């Protein structure tokens, strides 16, 4: 929104963990140094803790970027898994067989891989983010994995990253054996006041390629630090809002007045949210009480008619139109028609899932009943309802603007009302259905948590975490789950993007909504999750030297891309990824505005399939 005005190539205060934006305070620099040292020394288990928003994930992604080519990494960023699922995830990330349901088979395959890695002089590291969410059984499985070793060295290094309660969990008596294997611990602290200004200037410099035209005054920086307490995520939220405020004023200096207005807006949004939740809570309690009275009333009538409850005055209640077989009375709800049972959602049983998690397809629309005022019977009253032909008719532009405003307010209100897990469930289920596969089944939501990678594997789809811009989203042309963070919310919400145009987007949250694209520009900071399909099972991470029939299939696919006949292509039957293959891949990447490195990764594969019309998949139409 304000990027062009300030000359940014990117939003400087996005909430995504982009290593390009890592600011190495003294504490962060020491943490990174300890991590690199621990990996080089072959430490068994390393634990990194920090408060929410302290920069843990950004630090870890910077670590991965700084590791040499002799280190293989498995990065588990969604740890809400069973012990079996954790093994499957690690093996899959390392390119090993991962479909077995036997822990022994998976561990044996991993052990063979680790031995071969050590023989080749390579290291293997497993990084688990948000590790405070791991269940005790999974932590025990990690302890067993830490036992994979030779007489001289550990075969597997494990890095656990999480919030401060991770240290408390590891201190439990039943986890003593794992805690004793921790060789390095580090806690990330908030930025001190002197580093907050340097952090802000660093992000502005990165976003503008060193040519920033905006400056935060010393007073504005002090106010940012006071508000945020030095927590990088809170600094980002406030600075992003301050830039929006300054942009509306066409100012390039972020003063105390600008920061204070941004703070007021954030606090006002938070107060409105609390008021909304309070009102909804009261309304819910009233509705629950009414519903309970209705249930008791219906039960009393049915029970009395069956003779379950003795009638106090000896009067029997009968129903002349009651079916002879005594079938249960059908209750009509808003969702069901007269005499119909409320249908169960396809693919999952509502008995095994939280009641608030309704499985809605992208086509589902819930319409609230509209109160119809009583009709007036007098001629005067009827005449009063006839519009005055002389009254001004609003222009189509103003009508559209008002509709967009109302749609935006409704979306933001509903987004605040839904909790994080419920929004994740709805978005994940809708994404699966957008691909034409079965939605989330009973038993696939363990402890109210969703493992999208496992859901994708079970349906022969591939899962890809995303970090980028709306331009890249449009280029990939696939439905994508977006992480939305409103300034007044403590945690994220998830929505599904189903359509994208120049100034509009189609979002699924409870139902499909047409919204101004500005809603995403202001509240999405570049993080998302998408599914794709490797139709030819070619795979990813392919580079010069890769060998196999999948390389042959890659050559056939490259030959089908537009303009392929104008260049010298590798032989279709060739099974080796050679320099000619690398040049062809780089040429294709250049036409698609990707980095032309000649390496086949997920983005390259998605765009390859997009350019060949024979591969059908959902698009952002």
Containing 297, the helix (H) or strand (E) segment is helix 256-306
Over 80: is that where the pLDDT of 344 sits? no
Mean pLDDT score of the chain: 78
Element (H, E) at 157: strand 157-162
**Strands 182-188 and 45-50: what pairing?**
parallel
Every domain of the chain with CATH number 1.10.101 lies at 546-611
Percent of the chain with pLDDT over 70: 78
Instruction: Write the pLDDT tens digit of every residue in 352-366.
Output: 333 333 333 333 333
Q: Average pLDDT, stretch 141-145?
A: 90
CATH assignment of 546-611? 1.10.101
Q: What is the CATH number of domain 418-532?
A: 3.90.70.10
CB-based contacts of 507, cutoff 8 Å, min separation 6: 411, 495, 496, 497, 498, 513, 515, 519
Most confident of 52-56, 103-107, 327-331: 103-107
Average pLDDT (597-603) is 90
Superfamily of domain 24-188: P-loop containing nucleotide triphosphate hydrolases (3.40.50.300)
Question: What is the token pair recorded at 489?
Answer: 């919310």
pLDDT at 82: 85
Residue 496 has pLDDT above 70, yes or no: yes
Q: Where in the chain is the domain with CATH 3.90.70.10?
A: 418-532
Specify the pTM: 0.47
pLDDT digits (tens, 9 = 90+) for 508-530: 999 999 999 988 888 888 889 99
Query: Which is higher by pLDDT, 81 or 329?
Result: 81
505: Cβ contacts below 8 Å, ≥ 6 apart: 497, 499, 514, 515, 516, 517, 519, 520
Q: Where in the chain is the domain with CATH 3.40.50.300?
A: 24-188
On the question of pLDDT at 277 being above 60, the answer is no
pLDDT value for 221: 94
* pLDDT, tens only, 181-221: 888 888 988 998 889 999 999 999 999 888 888 999 999 99
How far apart are alpha carbons 96 and 13 in whole angstroms?
Answer: 37
């Amino acid at each position: 929104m304000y990027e062009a005005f300030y000359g940014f190539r990117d939003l400087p205060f996005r909430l995504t963990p982009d290593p390009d934006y890592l600011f190495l305070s003294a504490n962060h620099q020491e943490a990174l140094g300890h991590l690199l040292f621990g990996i080089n020394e072959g430490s068994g288990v390393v634990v990194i803790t920090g408060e929410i928003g302290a920069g843990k994930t950004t630090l870890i992604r910077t670590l991965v970027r700084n590791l040499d080519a002799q280190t293989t990494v498995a990065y588990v960023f969604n740890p809400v898994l069973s012990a079996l699922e954790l093994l499957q995830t690690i093996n899959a990330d390392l390119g090993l067989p991962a479909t077995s349901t036997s822990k022994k088979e998976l561990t044996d395959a991993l052990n063979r891989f680790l031995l071969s890695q050590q023989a080749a002089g390579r290291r293997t590291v497993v990084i688990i983010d948000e590790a405070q969410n791991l269940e005790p059984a999974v932590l025990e499985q990690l302890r067993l994995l830490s036992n994979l070793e030779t007489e001289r060295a550990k075969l597997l290094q494990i890095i656990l990253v999480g919030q401060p309660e991770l240290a408390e969990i590891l201190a439990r008596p039943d986890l003593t054996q794992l805690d004793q294997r921790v060789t390095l611990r580090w806690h990330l602290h908030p930025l001190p006041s002197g580093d907050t200004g340097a952090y802000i200037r660093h992000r502005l410099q990165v976003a503008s390629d060193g040519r920033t035209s905006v400056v935060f005054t010393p007073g504005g920086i002090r106010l940012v630090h006071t508000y945020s307490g030095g927590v990088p995520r809170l600094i980002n939220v406030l600075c992003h809002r301050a830039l929006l405020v300054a942009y509306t004023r066409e100012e390039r200096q972020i003063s105390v007045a600008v920061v204070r207005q941004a703070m007021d807006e954030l606090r006002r949004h938070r107060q409105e949210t609390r008021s909304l939740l309070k009102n909804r809570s009261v309304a819910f309690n009233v509705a629950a009480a009414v519903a309970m009275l209705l249930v008791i009333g219906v039960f009393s009538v049915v029970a009395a008619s069956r003779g379950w409850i003795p009638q106090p005055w000896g009067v029997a209640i009968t129903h002349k139109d009651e079916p002879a077989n005594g079938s249960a009375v059908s209750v009509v709800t808003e969702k069901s028609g007269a005499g119909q049972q409320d249908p169960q959602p396809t693919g999952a049983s509502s008995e095994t899932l939280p009641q608030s998690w309704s499985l809605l397809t992208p086509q589902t629309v819930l319409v609230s009943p509209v109160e119809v005022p009583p009709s007036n019977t007098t001629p005067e009253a009827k005449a009063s309802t006839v519009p005055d032909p002389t009254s001004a008719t609003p222009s189509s532009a103003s009508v559209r603007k008002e509709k967009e405003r109302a749609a935006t307010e409704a979306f933001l209100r509903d987004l605040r009302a839904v909790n994080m897990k419920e929004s994740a469930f709805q978005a994940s289920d809708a994404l699966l259905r957008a691909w034409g596969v079965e939605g989330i089944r009973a038993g696939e939501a363990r402890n109210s948590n969703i493992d999208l990678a496992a859901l994708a594997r079970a349906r022969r789809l591939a899962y890809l975490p995303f970090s980028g811009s709306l331009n890249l989203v449009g280029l990939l042309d696939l439905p994508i789950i977006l992480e939305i963070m409103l300034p007044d919310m403590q945690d994220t919400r998830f929505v599904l993007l189903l359509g994208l145009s120049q100034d509009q987007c189609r979002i699924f949250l409870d139902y499909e909504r047409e919204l101004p694209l500005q809603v995403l520009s202001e509240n999405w900071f570049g993080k998302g999750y998408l599914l794709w399909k490797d139709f030819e099972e070619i795979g990813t991470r392919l580079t010069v030297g890769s060998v196999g029939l999948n390389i042959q299939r890659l050559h056939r696919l490259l030959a089908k891309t537009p303009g392929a006949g104008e260049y010298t292509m590798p032989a279709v039957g060739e099974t080796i990824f050679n320099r000619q293959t690398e040049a062809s891949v780089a040429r294709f990447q250049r036409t698609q505005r990707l980095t032309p490195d000649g390496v086949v990764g997920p983005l390259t594969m998605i765009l390859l399939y997009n350019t060949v019309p024979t591969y059908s998949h959902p698009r952002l139409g």
